[in-house]
Every structure is written in structure tokens, then in C-alpha cells.
Amino acid sequence: MACLLEAPLRISVLSEVTATSRHYVDRLFDPDPQKVLQGVIDMKNAVIGNNKQKANLIVLGAVPRLLYLLQQSSSSLQLRTECAVVLGSLAMGTENNIKSLVDCHIIPTLLQGLLCPDLVFTEACLRCLRTVFISPVTPVQLLYTDPTVIPHLMSLLSNSQRTQEYITQIFSHCCKTPEHQTVLFNHGAIQNIAPLLISPSYKVRMQALKCFSVLAYENTQVSMTLVNVLVDGEQLTQVFVKMMQRDQPVEMQLTAAKCLTYMCRAGAIRTDDGSIVLKTLPCLVRMCSKEHLLEERVEGAETLAYLMEPDVELQRIASTTDHLVAMLADYFKYPSSVSAIADIKRLDHDLKHAHELRQAAFKLYASLGSNDEDIRKKVLESVFFSLSPPACVVIRTHAHVPMHRLCFLQITETENMMDRIVSGLSESSIKVRLAAVRCLHSLSRSVQQLRTSFHDHAVWKPLMKLLQNAPDEVLVMASSTLCNLLLEFSPSKEPILESGVIELLCSLTQSDSPALRVNGIWALMNMAFQADQKVKVEIVRCLGTEQLFRLLSDPDTNVLMKTLGLLRNLLSTRPHIDQIMSSHGKQIMQAVTLILEAEHSIEVKEQVSVRKRISVQHFVLLLHCRMEFLHFVRVKSVVSSDESTHSLFFFVVFFPLRRFASSPTSPMETQPRSSS
């Protein structure tokens, strides 16, 4: 049975199937083995570089016949090898070709072929497998279906440089999850691949390096093991450092820097280690310069952002290394009208992928400005110049010197960083929008910038627009940023309130995503801090007591804590307490009692137990809600030394009297949302 292409493509391809293509397939069924072999060889020569011919042969059913011939022990080794070569050539076509090959079960057939002891045939099967697995449409899980496959691939690593190159490349493309990392690690990937880093073949060294980068990513076990590995008597980290030297290919420098970055983030290398501060970080900054290709600049910036994200000192060092902040400005005007790209195909490629540079720049700016106020200021003061074509001007240097004509690029427009971020929030690429809002979130942690740049550029408007219709990943970051814009000292708070944001935030608290529920209730908590009575009443009305009860019983502790914080901010002054408690007092006190009775942490119960001013008319209501709980707490306090229990007992008995205290506590303190 023929392996068919996707329906739209199949119709167009079938109309162009030629008699020559059918002749190639017909020869595969000849009873003479020599004619079959020659037919396969002729097919191999016909499909090289010819995607149309590849598609024709797939439609005509060549793949099942080739796989059949490859599996037959009666076929000669030469025929089986040629079949594997043709299948590898077919796999180098379009993604639809790959899908058709996978549907014909090419992967298990080739894996079975690896049991053959013949090296040439094994290399042909591995080369075809490599081509299939590096395609994004191939399910990588197929490599892990049979538990005997990985150990067998490990055993083949020593056969030849080609088997080393193909197998490590397969591993690097098929290691996508922590489970995959564990499987490879448990089958000796580190011990078997480490010696390949000093192979005489550059391709082998490069693929082994890439394999280590995917193994170490966010994996503490692998990273800790790598630190102690010796390669030819030298520590593996020092091997990576040598690979970052300027005389090495850029691809190798960048991949080695990624390995050390991932090991550092996994806790295997200290952030103040010389291999990080003096080697890895400068190498990644160097990758961001405009002398490198677009892909290299994108990967360098994103890796650097990941490296220094949690470490303030690395952020400070990076911000002063090779004028990094100014260097990133070029990411937003690439390729420029004066770009030195001679290859028109390369220029076309870069024009299509220029948004990736902007995405990487936003990520790096976000990481740079996540903690240090001076760096945030430097980032926001970055100025971007828009250049017009050359214009001629005439200047006179001295009175006795002839006049000279000079050509220069006119500066027609300037934009600062906040302008770029606002523009990024409305870009068509979802990844750029996410990176832009991540950058905005990082900068919003500055009190000074909330009061100045965020207000001057009315950032809340595009942010609110983004919140209306966005995927969850963007919505999480945008709502987190909104939490900071709703802080009491933010000038944006009032216009945001007037835009009707309360209903939006209340809807977020009903989301299935815990992160969105946390952000929704957190924003309401910030909004309620020292707010007018009208705002507080509107929050209670929109949220509703039923939803409030659901949030107070939420399995996520963060949601519960922020809901209690909201209650504390709502009940902050006597008039507000009187009005809210008069209409919702019984429900609120029932909810509080349920929390006290439930198995919660000390932090949660302390949040409930904070002193409040309360009116006399609610004294009876409070006692009524607490009497049946009083006995439970008293008994527990006798048999337990838990400090929280004794605190609760004190709270139950004396809480109503605290309204008479001379210095009542202030409402819940509000803090800027930290990076998620």
C-alpha cells in the first residue's frame, strides 16, 4: 500500500506524476535481483535535489517496497544499503515527505536494521534516522518506545566517526523532556559521549557538545555529574572554556557557553566562578554584536538573559560589558538600509526573522533590569535613532580652508526604550508580544519608573488592550504587570480604575490557571489598599461572596494568602468595615472560621489572625460565629505546644476588643510583583 501525502499536495502531485517516475517503482518489483539493485541506484540518482521526483515516488508507493527490500535477509547487503540511502534522500525533502515516511513505519524498520553487523549498512540506516529525527514533525517519543534501542545506540558509538556524529545528533534532537534526559543519563550518555569532545572530527565534537547542552538544561543531576567528569585528564568545564576561545568556530563558542550556562543555573557552578564571570558571560555578550549572524545574535542574547536572570551581580557586570545596553539597540533596526549583507537570500531570510531579534532583545532587557535600579534607568534612557538616506551638507572648518562637502545619515526621528516596548505589545508575533510584556514587567518593579516613564507613556492603555484577548502565557505576564501598576503610589492606578478593570480582574479569579487566579486576586488586593469606599464596594459586588468563598478554599496557597490580603485591605477603616460587614459580615466570618479550622500553614493562620478594628455592633456577630470554635481551640491549646494554636486562642477570645487599641494596625502592605 502506498504512503500518501497530505490531501491538497497529493492532488497537485498526482497530476504531475510522469511515466519515468512509475518506471522507477516498477523496476523495484523485477524478479531479477540485479535489475532491482540497478533500479534502486537509478532511483537514488534521480531523486537527488529533486523534491518533485521525491514526492512522485512516495505517491506511487516506492517507500513500502524499499522498506520491504531493506528488511529481507535474502537481499544483498549492497541492495539493503542502497535502499537505506534512497530513503534518506526522500527524507531530505519536504515535511510532508517526512510525515509519509513516518506513517509507513520507517523508524522501527531502520532501528531493526541497526542490528546488522555490517558497518556501511549501519551507517546508512543511522544517517536516514538522523534525517528523519531532526525534522520538527517527527514524534521523538518513537526513539524511546523500545527500551533496548538506547543501550544499543550507545554500543554503536565506538564503531566509527560517522556513527558517533549521527547518534549524538539524534540524541540532541530527541532529548526534549526531563524523562528523556533521565533515560539517556541512566544508560551512560555522559560517560560514552564525553570522550567525543576531543575527537579529531569537528562534526563529532560539535554534536557531542550539543548533546551535553540539552542534557544539562534545567537538570541538576546531570549538571552535578558533568562537573566531576574528566576528559583526557582535564575537567570537563575547562574543556568547555577552551571551546569558547575566539579562535574556535562561533557555533562551538556559543554551544559551549550554553553548556556552562545551564550547569550554572542548575547549581553545579557558582555564579561568581571564573568560568562564568570571566569566560561565559563575555563570550555571550560578544555573540550579541552586529558582526554575527542573526541566529547567533538571537541565541547569544537569549542564553545571556537566562544566565543572569536570578543573579544581580551578573546583571551589573553584563550591563557594563562591551556597551551591551547600547548594542541591543541595533536589534530593533535590523537589517538596516546600510546593512552589509551581500547575499540577497540571506537578506530575505533576515527580513523574515528580524522579529526574533526584537524578541531576544526584550528578553535580555528584562533580565538586565529585573533587580538593579541603575540598570533599569540605563535601559529606559536608551535612545534609538531612525536614519534617513545620506544627505549632503557643506561645512567650513576654518576661514582660510576651502569648503568641503560631507555626506552623512540624517537623524529624522528618535525613540526611547519605552516607545519600543509599547510598539512591541502590539506586534503580530505572539513571541515578541510576550517578550515585550516580560520586559515591561521587569521594569515595573521600579517605584521611580512607575511614577515617571510608565505614566508619561500611558503604558496602561496598550497593556489593558493586551489583556482583552491574549493567550494564557501572555495573559499571566500582562496581569502580573498590571498588579504593579495598581500599587498605591502608581499614577496609573486611577485611569486604570476608570477603565473598568475590576470586572476583568474578577474574571481572572475564575480562571483554571492558578497563576491567573493569583494575579487577579493580587491586583484586586493592591487596588483595595487605601482605596475609596466606592471602589471597595464595587470589588465586593463584582467578586461576589460565592466566588470569595471559592477563593478562600482554593487549593493553591498563594491564592488563599492574596484573598486574605484582599479582605484585610477591604476592612481597613471603621466606615468601610461597617458598610461591608453589615451586608456580608456573616459570610466573611464564616469563611474566616473555616480557614482557622482547616489544616493550613502557620503563615495562613497568622494572616487571618491579624488585628482589626471592628464596630461594636459586629461584636455579637463575631462571638456568635466563634463560640462553637472556641472549645476546639481551647482543647487543642492544652494538648499542643504549637505557637499558632495559642495565638489563635488569644485571637478568638480578645479579637473584638482590639478595636479599642490606641494604635491599630495598618492595612495589608502592598509590594511590587516579583518576576515569575
> Which CATH number fits the domain that encloses residue 533?
1.25.10.10
Dist. CA 67–CA 589, nearest whole Å = 72
Q: Which three cell numbers stand for residue 237?
A: 568545564
In a domain, 564, yes or no: yes
Amino acid (one-letter) located at 82: E
pLDDT in tens, 183-200: 999 999 999 999 999 999
Dist. CA 528–CA 547, nearest whole Å = 17
Q: Which three cell numbers stand for residue 578?
A: 461597617
Dist. CA 301–CA 364, nearest whole Å = 6
227-235, Cβ contacts within 8 angstroms, sequence gap of 24 or more:
227/263, 227/268, 227/269, 229/190, 229/191, 229/194, 231/194, 231/195, 231/197, 231/198, 232/195, 232/198
> How many domains, in total, are found in the chain?
1
Q: How far, in Å, are 19, 112, 278, 512, 653 from residue 249 at the CA level?
A: 48, 36, 19, 47, 74
CB atoms within 10 A of CB 448: 12
Asked whether residue 400 carries a pLDDT value surpassing 50, the answer given is no
Of 166-170, 349-353, 439-443, 631-635, minimum mean pLDDT range: 631-635
Check if the beta carbon of residue 212 is closer than 8 Å to that of residue 256. Answer: no
CA 535 to chain centre: 37
In a domain, 550, yes or no: yes
pLDDT at 606: 62
- 75-90 burial, b if ≥16 CB within 10 A, otherwise e? beeebbbbbbbbbbbb
Check if the beta carbon of residue 266 is closer than 8 Å to that of residue 216. Answer: yes
pLDDT in tens, 14-45: 455 566 688 899 999 999 999 999 999 999 99
Largest CA distance in the chain: 106
Asked whether residue 383 carries a pLDDT value surpassing 70, the answer given is no
Could you tell me whether strands 234-235 and 404-416 are parallel, antiparallel, or unpaired per DSSP bridges?
Answer: unpaired
Dist. CA 249–CA 256, nearest whole Å = 11
Place of cell 557552578: 269
pLDDT at 578: 73
Dist. CA 606–CA 634, nearest whole Å = 17
CB atoms within 10 A of CB 20: 10
Q: How far, in Å, are 21, 62, 92, 355 from residue 2 at the CA level?
A: 14, 7, 19, 41
Asked whether residue 158 carries a pLDDT value surpassing 90, the answer given is yes
CB atoms within 10 A of CB 340: 8
Q: Which domain holds residue 613?
A: 500-631
pLDDT in tens, 208-226: 999 999 999 999 999 999 9
Dist. CA 592–CA 612, nearest whole Å = 13
Under DSSP, is residue 138 helix (H, G, I), strand (E, B) or coil? coil
pLDDT at 399: 41
**675: Cβ contacts below 8 Å, ≥ 6 apart:** 309, 370, 441, 442, 445
| H-only helix segments in 500-556 | 501-508, 514-528, 533-543, 545-552
In a domain, 554, yes or no: yes
Q: pLDDT category, 600, cuts 50, 70, 90?
A: low
- 23-42 burial, b if ≥16 CB within 10 A, otherwise e? ebbebbeeeeeeebbebbee
Q: Which three cell numbers stand for residue 418?
A: 519605552
Q: Which three cell numbers stand for residue 303?
A: 542564553
pLDDT at 557: 87
Dist. CA 124–CA 101, nearest whole Å = 16
pLDDT at 281: 98
Dist. CA 145–CA 131, nearest whole Å = 19
pLDDT at 382: 72
Backbone angles phi and psi of 80, in degrees to 5 = -65, -40
In a domain, 164, yes or no: no
pLDDT in tens, 226-281: 999 999 999 999 999 999 999 999 999 999 999 999 999 999 999 999 999 999 99
CB atoms within 10 A of CB 213: 22
**82: Cβ contacts below 8 Å, ≥ 6 apart:** 37, 40, 41, 44
Using CB atoms within 10 Å of the CB of residue 147, give its burial: 0 to 12 exposed, 13 to 18 middle, 19+ buried: exposed
pLDDT at 458: 92
Backbone angles phi and psi of 674, in degrees to 5 = -85, 170
In a domain, 523, yes or no: yes
DSSP 600-650: --HHHHHHHT------GGGHHHHHHHHHHHHHHHHHHHHH---HHHHHHHH
Partnered with residue 235 across adjacent β-strands are: 230
Q: pLDDT category, 380, cuts 50, 70, 90?
A: confident
Dist. CA 432–CA 419, nearest whole Å = 14
Asked whether residue 613 carries a pLDDT value surpassing 70, the answer given is no
Amino acid (one-letter) located at 398: H
Dist. CA 133–CA 140, nearest whole Å = 7
In a domain, 219, yes or no: no
Q: Which three cell numbers stand for residue 273?
A: 566562578
Dist. CA 487–CA 624, nearest whole Å = 36
Check if the beta carbon of residue 537 is closer than 8 Å to that of residue 500. Answer: no
Angle at 502 between CA 496 and CA 504, to 5 degrees: 100
Angle at 217 between CA 216 and CA 221, to 5 degrees: 45
pLDDT in tens, 286-331: 999 989 999 999 999 999 999 999 999 999 999 999 999 989 988 9
pLDDT at 650: 35
In a domain, 549, yes or no: yes
In a domain, 529, yes or no: yes
Average pLDDT, the chain: 82
Check if the beta carbon of residue 113 is closer than 8 Å to that of residue 152. Answer: no
**234: Cβ contacts below 8 Å, ≥ 6 apart:** none
Single pTM value for the model: 0.81
Angle at 258 between CA 253 and CA 260, to 5 degrees: 95
Total length of the chain = 676
Dist. CA 355–CA 434, nearest whole Å = 12
Q: Which three cell numbers stand for residue 365?
A: 532587557
